[in-house]
A and B are shown apart, each in its own frame.
Chain A
Amino acid sequence: MIDGTQESNSEMSDNDDYNFDAELSVMKGKARQRAFDVEAESLSVQDIEAIMKRDAEHVSGIFGAPVSIAYLLLRYQTWNKEKLIERYMDDPSKVLATAGVLDPSTENLASPLMPPSSRRVTRGTTSTRSRQSQPSPPPFMCPICCDDEPPNIMSLGCGHMYCSNCWDTYLHTKIREEGELSIRCMDELCAIQADQTFIRKVVSNQDLQRYHELLVRDYVTNNPQLRFCPHPGCAYALSCAAASTKSALQTIVPTVRCAEKHAFCFGCALEGGHAPVICTVSKLWLKKCADDSETANWIKSNTKECTNCNSTIEKNGGCNHMTCKKCKNEFCWVCMGSWAEHGTSWYSCNRYDEKDGVDARDIQSKSRASLERYLHYYNRWANHEQSARLSLDLYAKTEKKMEEMQITSNLTWIEVQFAKKAVDEVIKCRKTLKWTYAMAFYLESGNAKQLFEDNQADLEKAVEDLSELLESPIEPETIPILRQKMTDKTVYVAKRNDIVLEDTAKGFVDGRWIWNIGM
């Protein structure tokens, strides 16, 4: 058995007891110790609200303030609880004033019941007290809407009274229209902030819900250990302490997955991630591709001409082994070289031969060489991206084949899953391969790069072999052999992929990678 590991095996059912899954489940135990694994936790909105509540209750307990005031103070201190406590201990009045919370120590002057000695403890209830229950002097006209018989009048702790209609419209405008969490008293010069208890009393359930959403968003945005899943419409956030600093991102590649299985980079939010390269390399490369997109556009084209007979060939599968329908010429889609050489002695289609390209006698050819060098890497990068984009087609095609196999052999539906797993692996590895070309583009020539490209070539070769197996026709008599071959190859490909990821990750930690430009 091949000693490899498999990154994602969560979708495998425990009931499948045939050897393929058995092989993979043996590997499960190892999954934790890999250098490219990053620990992260997917959090739902409810999970985050629970954390916020815990923080608010903690602060509330220390300061003796109501929880809703603790939320205001935390938000003012961008949810940094330790810093808030430190600042508060240092100068409570200043913290309260800047956060827009009524200082009970100043209010105490007007309230003989509270001795000034209690000033260190925020008697926050006063700042949220709604005065609607207090009997108001009969001739009250709301200074905002000029209603002289308002159904209800209320104020924040500052005592600036307005009718409840005006409060509702005001809070609605702030929360709904402006998406604003910082809501001051309506008085021109008053800095007191509306807290949750007050807001809950005034606004509709919908507005309150929106307010809570804004709070969660504010919390996540301000917490370097959290990031929302960038997948459109996904509400999960990921917590990843290991990748929360800029310096950490110099050595780790935090590809994380939310509970909905959307993969993305925790460091830069790129959907799908960019393992094995670090965010800096990924960003540089993507920027270069965007800048050079025009020169490179022709390469993206889905059609090419046969090297032998010049008839147009359209690429419609994931495999790079092309066969011209007209003349039967077999060649590699990426380098346009004869496929025979790829098959028998893999002649490093992944490697750009620096010596061949540079003709020092001619300046013009130098710039052409630099463009050609870029195109070499871009070509391969784009090819894997394109293949991955065609993955849905590949799944559909494979599913058809699986049905075919079920009919022509005595295999069950579960037993033909090996083909789907092969597709999973191919797609995953093409993503790795894609980014290895961005990496190689920036790697300085030398031993380290040589070894990197050897690993890359091994993976690429394995992936192309497996892709080719997936495209091979189904013959009833050879299904058992095909199944064995494909299963073995899938395990092998997974192993090669892990080697690339592991070695690249270790290289970052060891500082082994030397770049040809400043990073």
Chain B
Amino acid sequence: MATFSSRRLTKELVALREECPAGITLLSTEDLKSWTLSLELLGESLFKGEVFALRFTFGSRYPIEAPEVVFVVNDKYKAPMHPHVYSNGHICASILGSEWSPVLNTSTICITLQSMLASCKKKERPEGNDRYVKNAPLSPKNTHFLYDDDSV
């Protein structure tokens, strides 16, 4: 892993261990490349009381390139029922694709996803969820999402 990448991740990790944004908890950091964080919404929202987990995978060019971020789907966690989240945990959010900026980080991504969920008006899957999930690549980074909504 490039030095700039590991130095940056080390800093982020130190900061997250010190203090996470509200509703975010660091669950595990196997190594510098893959972290899991839990995410819940505080205050009124359709997702009140639900806890989700996010898995971050950082490539060697992070933060020049966006990390891979998915909602964990297993026995314990489900992907939130949201028009931009597929049932396999893949997220269609422009900041993880074309609108990524290297100044963004793990915290800011979590906060953006929190507000994406908070603004949700109807719990539903994206159109064509089943088709997408059936054919989806392992990593959402290999999907070319069309971002139809500027708010995320």
A151-208, CB < 8 A from B: 162, 165-166, 169-170, 173, 184, 186-189
Contacts of B8 in A (CB 8 A): 144-146
Q: Within the assembled complex, what's the spacing in Å between the Cα atoms of A144 and B20?
A: 19
Contacts of A186 in B (CB 8 A): 101-103
Contacts of B2 in A (CB 8 A): 169
Q: Does B61 contact A (CB under 8 A)?
A: yes
| Minimum distance in angstroms from A378 CB to a CB of chain B | 37
Q: Pick the contact of A143 from B5, B65, B103 — CB < 8 Å?
A: B103
Which residue of chain B lies nearest to A187 when distances are taken between CB atoms in the complex?
A: B103
A138-153, CB < 8 A from B: 143-147
Q: Are A170 and B64 CB-contacts (below 8 A) given A144-B8, A165-B4?
A: yes
Contacts of B61 in A (CB 8 A): 169, 173
Question: Secondary structure of the B side of the interface?
Answer: loop
Q: Within the assembled complex, what's the spacing in Å between the Cα atoms of A173 and B3?
A: 16
| Minimum distance in angstroms from A13 CB to a CB of chain B | 54
Q: Render B1-31 as a binary contact track against A, CB cut-off 8 A, 1 for contact.
A: 0111101101100000000000000000000
Q: Are A166 and B103 CB-contacts (below 8 A) given A145-B4, A145-B7?
A: no
Q: Does B89 contact A (CB under 8 A)?
A: no
Are A169's CB and B4's CB within 8 A?
A: yes
Q: Does B67 contact A (CB under 8 A)?
A: no
Q: Are A147 and B4 CB-contacts (below 8 A) given A166-B64, A170-B64, A173-B65?
A: yes
Q: Within the assembled complex, what's the spacing in Å between the Cα atoms of A147 and B101?
A: 18
Count chain A CB atoms within 10 A of each CB in B7, B10, B11, B63 and give the residue with the most.
B63
Which residue of chain A lies nearest to B8 when distances are taken between CB atoms in the complex?
A: A146
Q: Does B116 contact A (CB under 8 A)?
A: no
Are A147's CB and B7's CB within 8 A?
A: yes
Are B103's CB and A188's CB within 8 A?
A: yes
Q: Are A166 and B7 CB-contacts (below 8 A) given A144-B63, A144-B64, A173-B61?
A: no
| Minimum distance in angstroms from B86 CB to a CB of chain A | 24
Q: Are A144 and B11 CB-contacts (below 8 A) given A166-B4, A166-B64?
A: no
B98-152, CB < 8 A from A: 101-104
Are A166's CB and B102's CB within 8 A?
A: yes
Q: Within the assembled complex, what's the spacing in Å between the Cα atoms of A173 and B102?
A: 12
| Minimum distance in angstroms from A495 CB to a CB of chain B | 55
Are A170's CB and B4's CB within 8 A?
A: no
Contacts of A169 in B (CB 8 A): 2, 4, 61, 64
Contacts of A188 in B (CB 8 A): 101, 103-104
Contacts of A162 in B (CB 8 A): 102
| Minimum distance in angstroms from B68 CB to a CB of chain A | 15
Which residue of chain B lies nearest to A163 when distances are taken between CB atoms in the complex?
A: B4
Q: Render B49-61 as a binary contact track against A, CB cut-off 8 A, 1 for contact.
A: 0000000000001
Which residue of chain A lies nearest to B3 when distances are taken between CB atoms in the complex?
A: A145
Contacts of B103 in A (CB 8 A): 143-144, 186-188
| Minimum distance in angstroms from B61 CB to a CB of chain A | 6
Q: Within the assembled complex, what's the spacing in Å between the Cα atoms of A154 and B61?
A: 20
Q: Within the assembled complex, what's the spacing in Å between the Cα atoms of A162 and B65?
A: 15
Which residue of chain A lies nearest to B11 when distances are taken between CB atoms in the complex?
A: A146
Contacts of A145 in B (CB 8 A): 3-5, 7-8
Q: Within the assembled complex, what's the spacing in Å between the Cα atoms of A146 and B8?
A: 5
Q: Within the assembled complex, what's the spacing in Å between the Cα atoms of A165 and B8?
A: 13
Contacts of B63 in A (CB 8 A): 144
Q: Within the assembled complex, what's the spacing in Å between the Cα atoms of A214 and B14?
A: 41
Are B7's CB and A146's CB within 8 A?
A: yes
| Minimum distance in angstroms from A289 CB to a CB of chain B | 31
Q: Pick the contact of B101 from A146, A165, A173, A187 — CB < 8 Å?
A: A187
Contacts of A165 in B (CB 8 A): 4
Q: Within the assembled complex, what's the spacing in Å between the Cα atoms of A162 and B102?
A: 10
Q: Within the assembled complex, what's the spacing in Å between the Cα atoms of A196 and B4?
A: 25
Q: Within the assembled complex, what's the spacing in Å between the Cα atoms of A187 and B2?
A: 21
Q: Within the assembled complex, what's the spacing in Å between the Cα atoms of A322 and B126?
A: 65
Which residue of chain B lies nearest to A165 when distances are taken between CB atoms in the complex?
A: B4
Q: Within the assembled complex, what's the spacing in Å between the Cα atoms of A169 and B64?
A: 7
Q: Within the assembled complex, what's the spacing in Å between the Cα atoms of A162 and B63?
A: 13
| Minimum distance in angstroms from A463 CB to a CB of chain B | 50
Contacts of A147 in B (CB 8 A): 4, 7
Contacts of A143 in B (CB 8 A): 103
| Minimum distance in angstroms from A406 CB to a CB of chain B | 62
Q: Within the assembled complex, what's the spacing in Å between the Cα atoms of A189 and B65?
A: 16
Contacts of B10 in A (CB 8 A): 146
User: What would 14 more interface pairs be, CB under 8 Å, given A146-B11, A189-B101?
Assistant: A144-B8, A145-B3, A145-B5, A147-B4, A147-B7, A169-B4, A170-B64, A173-B61, A186-B101, A186-B102, A186-B103, A187-B101, A187-B103, A188-B104
Could you give 20 example pairs across A and B, Cβ below 8 Å?
A144-B4, A144-B63, A144-B64, A144-B103, A145-B3, A145-B8, A146-B4, A146-B7, A147-B7, A165-B4, A166-B4, A166-B102, A173-B64, A173-B65, A184-B101, A186-B101, A186-B102, A187-B101, A188-B103, A188-B104
Please list the residues of chain B having a beta carbon within 8 angstroms of any beta carbon in chain A.
2-5, 7-8, 10-11, 61, 63-65, 101-104
